[in-house]
Amino acid sequence: MSSLPHGRIVVVGGGMVAHRFAEHLCQRSPEGDWTLTVIGDEPHAPYDRVHLSEFFAGRTPDDLVLDAGPWSDPRVTLVTGDAVADLDLAGQTVTTRSGRVEAYDDLVLATGSWAWTPRTDGTDLPGVFTYRTMADVVALDEWVRLRSEKLGRPLAGAVVGGGVLGLEAAAALQTLGTSATVVEFSDRLMSVQLDPGGGEALRVLVTDLGFDVRTSTGATRLGAAGDGAVATMELSDGSSVPADVVVFSTGVRPRDRVAREAGLAVGERGGVVVGPTCRTSDPSVWAIGECASYEGECTGLVAPGNKMAEVVVDQLLGGTATYETFPEGTRLKGVGVEAASFGDVFALTPGALEVTFADPVAKTYKKLVVSDDAKVLLGGVFVGDVALYPSLRPMLGRPLGADPSAFLAPEGGAGVPSLELPDDVVVCSCANVTAGTVRGAVTEHGCTSVGEVKACTKAGTVCGSCVPLLTKIVNSTLEKSGIEVSRAMCEHFSMARAELYDLVRREGLRTFSEIVGAHGTGRGCSVCKPVVASILSSLGPGHVLEPEQAALQDTNDHVMANMQKDGTYSVVPRVPGGEITPEKLLVIGEVAQEFGLYTRITGAQRIGMFGARIDQLPAIWTRLVDAGFESGQAYGKALRNVKSCVGQAWCRFGVKDSVGMGVQIEMRYRGLRAPHKFKMGVSGCARECAEARAKDVGIIATEKGWNVYVGGNGGFTPRHADLLAEDLDDERLIQVIDRFLALYVRSADRLQRTAPWVADYPGGIAELRRVVVDDILGIGAELEAFMAHHVESYRDEWAETLADPEKLSRFVSFVNAPDQHDPDLSYTSERGQVRPAQAGEVADPNPVIARTLEVRR
């Protein structure tokens, strides 16, 4: 047994808790004389299983891999794809399936758990999956894609289990274009976490998403199709449902086989028995995470496992830390609706009181459970609106300091009381970070932003649910320390973009000089000038290259084209809905050939032409405008594109004209300047071929009308859009989008995309729905008028530029030598086209596609 920072340490298991152990050991003992070997059976390095469902939003397995920092330590060895098959306690060795033998002084079992499947006939059929590992989601994705291609229709999907993971699996099936029937043996969804009222509220919300929910029943038999794959599911209530793909999410069991066979003490309900130090019945063996049984219970959450990992590290380094169970909360995310709970959800504490607020119109449900004197918080349930969850969960077991009903009161009441969390309250349970640690990061370690605090403490870096609360604590601590939490746009404007926008709009200011004179100082900078330019453009005062407007624009807007890596520009004409005639295709081909441009079909259903010099842009656009094209605004903080599938016109699954709707909304919102670029998508059915839910505004056709989703995006931090309204006719759809976009343009922060704007909206998507759809603030007509003005005043920027000699005079390579061209431009040939020559490459003097610079001069 080792109690000093030296010796051979082996971790069996390669999941998140094993990663936390390795990370914490390296941090706590940077100079320790020890070696660590982590052995995982999955082929991947430890990955973020909490966000596993984001695989279906476009994140790759590599994207989900956790920080590789621990594996760069020369004392640490990571073994993947080789499970431990045998544990020899007497010899203090483990042997893997491949025959690898590792000796240890201390062994840490972090084997996790496995997905349990109930006894049901047919679970071995092709098309039946569990939802637990990276391999599970990859296999599910591949099956749905290949099976739907083979059958030539959308698949019918079924999920057995209505818990958090089951609902995530159902949402994943929908993302893959598959229907989702959720079968739950209990009388409600998330029956462990939600009371009957919360369960019913959640049922309403997920049914609105298109889930078919079957509660109080179970799966008894899976039937096969002619080729042997799963096709039907029979239920215990006598009914059956079609099921071309089935996902079981019915709970987990601790992976304790190796420990059990080695003779370690195992709990009655499974799991390796541990005490407060996380030591097992063998003094040289420890167990952490989901495989450990503490006081007869195995945890299924990451946060307690991380705490166990830290306890064992401390014990190995001679410390005295011990593990204690702590009440944990559960939050449903990534499904399209939100639900959360913590503590004594069912008011089982003697004398406990329940304070409930339900809004059937907004489809929200909130409940607090408090002590018999209504002072101490014992638990909470939130469905549809979970804004209070991050702030109240840490107060579990503590006095609230206010009337519980005040926290649940609807908008317009006395307001939610403020909470000053004590220092010992755990803010981030995943990393076990207290409010005092967060405050100390500011006051003792000099952190001045949430990002710096996250890097310093690791708070908010796992599931992310604590970030809103973390932000409040950081800002409050900065202010108390005498450090102003600046919301200024820059040194020239002391306000945020939304406040400045409102002032400009109300006061009718129309130039930067007027704006900075009234509300700012100095001459402006590269931060505030483009913001003011965007505000003025969205309010429609004139062309972006009008004299004072032009000076505000950034590089791309200044020449109405996107600059590329070699200093040339791209040309992307608008192709509404992705629909283009053969005649227009020919023009694009002729232009690209004449100017030697590289051509590519973009991911947004547009044709991009790359490599145009600044002096060539007017000639190129003259040809395009004459052919009926207009600017695609691919360079601006504006509508980029509306992607659409072929819809009802051609697709046998389409239920509405997605192309027609795509063209209509692109022509309506073209040129709309906003705080950030935004994209839209229109899918003609629930198969979602236009990937509408990955867009800022997504529209999906149903048999009843249009459903509109908002706040989605792909990119570095992908996010599924939230359902804003459903079953809309064409007129109502346009009205809702008008209001949403106008409100976004008016109130978002500088360079804030719709995804974080929607996520941060006070009251969440439920409140945004009330403002936009229900018009509770009475501003609907005003927002619609703003958009109507935009539509009426739209002018194609390039067409107007070509008609104005003064604007055209800007398009020269060198102001002092307008007839000269950049001598550093050099190109090479690749796959039949040209591209910029890279460092070390010899430029091709005669590229295969005639990019003849001399001819074009």
Q: Is the Cβ–Cβ distance between 489 and 531 less than 8 Å? A: yes
Cβ neighbourhood burial of 320 (10 Å; 0-12, 13-18, 19+) = exposed
Q: How far apart are the first and last CA of the chain?
A: 80
Q: Is the Cβ–Cβ distance between 157 and 299 less than 8 Å? A: no
Q: Over the stretch 435-453, which tens digit does the pLDDT of each residue have?
A: 889 898 888 888 877 778 8
Q: In sequence order, which residues have a C-beta less than 8 Å from that of residue 702 and are 6 or more positions away?
A: 210, 655, 685, 686, 726, 727
827 pLDDT exceeds 60? yes
* Whole-number Cα distances in Å, 468 to 457, 475, 767: 16, 11, 17
User: What's the token pair of residue 154?
Assistant: 């959308």
* Whole-number Cα distances in Å, 326 to 47, 340, 426, 728: 25, 17, 10, 46
226 DSSP assignment: T
Q: Which residues are annotated as a binding site for [4Fe-4S] cluster?
A: 645, 651, 685, 689
Q: Over the stretch 486-499, which tens digit does the pLDDT of each residue have?
A: 667 777 888 888 88
Q: Is the Cβ–Cβ distance between 712 and 695 less than 8 Å? A: yes
* C-alpha dihedral (534, 536, 538, 543), degrees to nearest 10: -90
Q: What is the CA radius of gyration of the chain?
A: 30
774 pLDDT exceeds 60? yes
Please give the order of strands across the beta sheet that includes 562-563.
562-563, 569-571, 607-612, 598-601
Count Cα neighbours of 63 within 13 Å in the Cβ-side half-sphere.
14
Global pTM reads 0.60
User: What's the token pair of residue 834?
Assistant: 């040209």
Q: Please state, in angstroms and rounded to a whole number, the distance separating the CA atoms of residues 176 and 689.
A: 9
Q: Please state, in angstroms and rounded to a whole number, the distance separating the CA atoms of residues 430 and 511.
A: 50
Q: What is the average pLDDT across 199-219?
A: 93
Cβ neighbourhood burial of 855 (10 Å; 0-12, 13-18, 19+) = exposed
User: What's the token pair of residue 619?
Assistant: 């000639």
Q: Over the stretch 632-658, which tens digit does the pLDDT of each residue have?
A: 877 778 898 899 998 888 888 889 999
Among the listed residues 715, 695, 676, the one whose alpha carbon sits nearest the alpha carbon of residue 554: 676
Q: Please state, in angstroms and rounded to a whole number, the distance separating the CA atoms of residues 456 and 585.
A: 54
Q: What is the average pLDDT across 96-109?
A: 96
Structural domains for the chain: 6-114+254-316 (3.50.50.60), 128-250 (3.50.50.60), 497-553 (no CATH), 562-793 (3.30.413.10), 827-856 (no CATH)
Specify the length of the chain in residues.
857
Residue 852's pLDDT is 43
Q: What is the average pLDDT across 290-298?
A: 93
How large is the angle between the packed helices 658-669 and 730-747, nearest 10 degrees?
Answer: 40
Q: How confident is the model at residue 839 (pLDDT cuts 50, 70, 90)?
A: low
Residue 825's pLDDT is 65
Question: In the chain, what are the helix, strand and coil shares in percent, each to the nearest 5?
Answer: 35, 20, 45
Among the listed residues 253, 221, 265, the one whose alpha carbon sits nearest the alpha carbon of residue 239: 221
Q: How confident is the model at residue 401 (pLDDT cuts 50, 70, 90)?
A: confident
Residue 824's pLDDT is 58
Q: Which residue has the tokens 């920027």?
A: 797
**3-class DSSP state of 501:** helix
Least confident of 5-14, 240-249, 287-296, 532-541: 532-541
Residue 551's pLDDT is 53
Q: Please state, in angstroms and rounded to a whole number, the distance separating the CA atoms of residues 550 and 541.
A: 12
Q: How confident is the model at residue 547 (pLDDT cuts 50, 70, 90)?
A: low
Q: Please state, in angstroms and rounded to a whole number, the distance separating the CA atoms of residues 306 and 820.
A: 64
Q: Which residues are annotated as a binding site for siroheme?
A: 689
Q: Is the Cβ–Cβ distance between 295 and 325 less than 8 Å? A: yes
814 pLDDT exceeds 50? no
Q: How confident is the model at residue 3 (pLDDT cuts 50, 70, 90)?
A: very low
Among the listed residues 778, 777, 779, 746, the one whose alpha carbon sits nearest the alpha carbon of residue 763: 777
Q: What is the average pLDDT across 363-375?
A: 93
Q: Please state, in angstroms and rounded to a whole number, the distance separating the CA atoms of residues 594 and 850.
A: 8
Least confident of 104-108, 267-271, 505-509, 578-582: 505-509
Q: Is the Cβ–Cβ distance between 711 and 754 less than 8 Å? A: yes
User: What's the token pair of residue 685?
Assistant: 């059915």
Q: What is the average pLDDT across 164-182?
A: 92
Q: Which residues are annotated as a binding site?
A: 645, 651, 685, 689
* E-state strands within 395-488: 426-428, 433-434
193 pLDDT exceeds 50? yes
Q: How confident is the model at residue 280 (pLDDT cuts 50, 70, 90)?
A: very high
Least confident of 146-155, 600-609, 623-632, 826-835: 826-835
Q: How confident is the model at residue 735 (pLDDT cuts 50, 70, 90)?
A: very high
Helix (H) or strand (E) holding 113: strand 113-115
Q: What is the average pLDDT across 792-800?
A: 88
Among the listed residues 461, 519, 531, the one whose alpha carbon sits nearest the alpha carbon of residue 495: 519
Q: In sequence order, which residues have a C-beta less than 8 Å from that of residue 534 and are 6 or more positions away?
A: 637, 673, 674, 675
Q: Please state, in angstroms and rounded to a whole number, the distance separating the CA atoms of residues 604 and 670.
A: 15
Q: How confident is the model at residue 857 (pLDDT cuts 50, 70, 90)?
A: very low
